[in-house]
Amino acid sequence: MANTSSAKKALRVSARKKIVNSKIKTSYRDAKKDVIKAIVANKPAQAKKLLVKAYSAIDTAAKKGSLHKNTASKYESRLADQVNKLGK
């Protein structure tokens, strides 16, 4: 357990950030799963609509620092490739 007041505050801050980060991560993971479900169901129009929402969620996570910007770019690129292959 923390002994100093600054260490106690750091624990409180860490706990708050953990809650916020988990909500952001859940948001972009759910968005990715929705796009993948549409791809598996072979629905290109729906996948394209959901891809836009996934981009937004992933970009938000990267902006907030819950996700590294290069990782966010990788996720977006891979989702876009899958959606584009579906349209062909």
Q: Tell me the mean pLDDT in the region 16-29.
A: 95
Phi (first) and psi of residue 45, to 5 degrees: -65, -45
**What mean pLDDT value characterizes the chain?**
95
Q: Is the predicted pLDDT of residue 44 greater than 90, yes or no?
A: yes
> What is the rounded distance in angstroms from the CA atom of residue 41 to the CA atom of residue 60?
27
Whole-number pLDDT of residue 2:
81
pTM: 0.84
3-state SS class at 2: coil
What is the 8-class DSSP label of residue 41?
Answer: T
Quick one: angle between helices 5-40 and 44-64, nearest 10?
170
